Amino acid sequence: MFNLHGLLDCQYMIQQDHTYNDRAHPDLPIYALNWEQRYFFYTPGLIALVENEEFNGLRDAVLKNDPSGLKEEAAGLYLHLIDIASKQKERYLSRRTKEYLPECLTISISNDCNLACDYCYTRSHKGSSVHPVVDLNVVEASAKLVAENCKQLGKPFSVVFHGGGEPTFHWNYFTGLYFLTRRLAGSMKIPFFSYISTNGFISREKAKWLSDHFSLIGVSIDGPPKIQHQNRKTLSGGQTSPLVIDAIKSIANRKTQVEVRSTITSGNMFSQNEIVEYFIKELSVRKIRFEPKYGGSDPEFKETDSDEFAKNFILAQKTASRLGGELQFSGVRLDEIHGVYCDVLRNNLRIGPDGISVNCFFSPLAVKDNITGKFDEVHNRFVLDENNIKNIVKKAFLAPLKCRNCFLEYHCSKGCPDFCWNDSTKMELVGFRCAVHRKIALSTILS
């Protein structure tokens, strides 16, 4: 059984200068780890447990790239590790040169919202109470660009309605944009996938409409009413739980896929297990995602909080599994090659209320370096900024030095969104996420 405390004793995990040092091969993603007398090698897609007496010899062979001194079985494992790691490195590096062809359109209609969440990072950055609404022509032009790529690639046309503010705030305009994108997919005879991220503070009728029209619905809710009210209040400071709970139940009862996302703060960090039990038992929601709070002027968590955060998350994750659900943490994903959340790495085109596409969901304003495209009014088309995109891709692969020998090098968000390559002053904030990601990953690998 997994013992969280044992993570702190791992011999090959961390040096005294807090730079992770798991790498066993000088060039390939092969990592040697030792945890409570369990010795194993890891490369993305392969976990190889070995006996204690074989560990050092195999590690030396990997380091020197010379298996001549190994016994037959160990030599076979060596070759297998080299083969898998070589292919994974090739996949990883190919992302740097892969052409950016957006397959998903994410629309932030406006920064208007019917809630006043304490940790909202978008609306707190706005100096004005008047928020622009994305232009219909911009959405149509950007949708055509993405849909043409999807047709060319033989993929579904994916449309996401996201914040910013609450996507359903301008209800009639929102539904009009939905039908516009859906008709476009139909005219091109390509499959249509739609997703909305909502705060769920909507009527039962609107919840049913979303159920009838969206492939997947994500609802932001932090837990039972007493937890929800800590941070997610109405504009007048009132309770949001009754309406949100009713909306979730209405969606779930119509058999539409629904997932919930909770922001974990220092105030509810110790309640993660309770939150999971509530979602699964009371709301019949099976897919759950937790995200640590981000976006404030001061970090919510310090590296010293990582033990308790991870311990409570791991307990909640096991509870979710036992109850037939799934608890995810997007910052670390062992089942895919994953890095910072830059949209250009994920083939996503994100349109903001100002009609400009930006690389980052966390950009409250269209910072010049993050702009990926603009609407060309003269030719009525959306034009990508190829130079900016190339620069973003290049910089997005410049991971912090402390990440380059970590066994999560190919799986981790590298501290994003707590810090960005575009703001080196926040680089040290990666400490908390580093520690949490490693502990969650090791729990998954060794459980």
Instruction: Calculate what percentage of the chain has a pLDDT beyond 70.
Output: 89
Asked whether the predicted pLDDT for residue 169 surpasses 70, the reply is: yes
More confident residue, 196 or 53: 196
Asked whether the predicted pLDDT for residue 417 surpasses 50, the reply is: yes
Residues 6+ apart with CB under 8 A from 189: 151
Taking only the tens place, the pLDDT of each residue in 18-52 is 567 899 999 999 999 987 678 999 999 999 999 98
More confident residue, 124 or 151: 151
Strand order in the sheet with 31-35: 31-35, 38-43, 46-50
Compute the average pLDDT of residues 202-230.
97
Where do the domains of the chain lie? 4-97+398-446
Tokens representing residue 377 in the block: 């009014």
Task: Round to whole Å and give the CA distance between 288 and 273.
Answer: 12
Taking only the tens place, the pLDDT of each residue in 244-295 is 999 999 998 888 899 999 999 999 999 999 999 999 999 999 999 999 998 7
Residue 363 pLDDT level (bands cut at 50, 70, 90): low
Asked whether the predicted pLDDT for residue 368 surpasses 50, the reply is: yes
Tokens representing residue 236 in the block: 């007048």
One DSSP character per residue, 186-222 reads HHTT--EEEEEEE---S-HHHHHHHHHH-SEEEEE--
Compute the average pLDDT of residues 414-435.
71
Taking only the tens place, the pLDDT of each residue in 75-92 is 999 999 999 999 999 999
Q: What is the pLDDT of residue 218?
A: 97
Q: What is the pLDDT of residue 423?
A: 62
How many CB atoms are located within 10 Å of the residue 446 CB?
18
What is the value of pTM for the model shown? 0.90
**Looking at 33-37, 134-138, 362-366, which range is the least confident one?**
362-366
Taking only the tens place, the pLDDT of each residue in 394-406 is 888 776 777 888 9
More confident residue, 253 or 183: 183
Residues 6+ apart with CB under 8 A from 343: 102, 106, 349, 350, 358, 359, 360, 361, 372
Task: Round to whole Å and give the CA distance between 85 and 91.
Answer: 10
Q: What is the pLDDT of residue 373?
A: 96
Query: What's the whole-number average pLDDT of the chain?
Result: 88
For tokens 């579904």, the residue is: 156
Q: What is the pLDDT of residue 119?
A: 86
Residues 6+ apart with CB under 8 A from 300: 265, 266, 292, 293, 294
8-state DSSP, 20? B
Taking only the tens place, the pLDDT of each residue in 345-360 is 999 999 999 999 999 8
CB 400 within 8 A of CB 415: yes
Q: What stretches of 98-169 show up as alpha helix (H) in DSSP?
A: 136-153
CB 349 within 8 A of CB 338: no
Compute the average pLDDT of residues 234-239.
94
Residues 6+ apart with CB under 8 A from 12: 21, 22, 32, 33, 34
Angle between helices 306-322 and 272-283 (to 10 degrees): 20
Residues 6+ apart with CB under 8 A from 236: none
Residue 8 pLDDT level (bands cut at 50, 70, 90): very low
Asked whether the predicted pLDDT for residue 12 surpasses 50, the reply is: no
Asked whether the predicted pLDDT for residue 340 surpasses 80, the reply is: yes
